[in-house]
Amino acid sequence: MKTQNYVGIHKDKNNGLTTVGKIIRDAWVFGLIPETETCAGWSYGRIEQLYDQVSKAWEPYGQLASNLPDDLRERHARIYAAAVQGAREQGWNPELDDED
* Distant-in-sequence, close-in-space partners of 67: CB < 8 Å, separation ≥ 6: 61
For residue 60, count other CB atoms closer than 10 A to its CB: 9
What does the pLDDT read at residue 91?
86
For residue 8, is it within any domain? no
The yes-or-no verdict on residue 98 having pLDDT over 80 is no
Residue 95 lies in a domain: no
Query: pTM, whole model, 2 decimals?
Result: 0.88
Does any domain span residue 84?
A: yes
Structural domain boundaries enclosing 42: 13-89
pLDDT at 100 over 50: no
Domain membership flag for residue 7: no
Would 99 be classed as within a structural domain?
no
Reference 33, options 16, 45, 17, 46; nearest CA is 46
Transcribe 31-87 into DSSP letters. Answer: TSS-TT---TT-BHHHHHHHHHHHHHHHGGGTT-GGGS-HHHHHHHHHHHHHHHHHH
Q: Evaluate whether residue 4 is within a structural domain.
A: no
- Report pLDDT digits (tens) over 46-83: 999 999 999 999 999 999 999 999 999 999 999 999 99
**Domains in the chain, number:** 1
Reported as a pLDDT band with limits 50, 70 and 90, residue 85 is very high
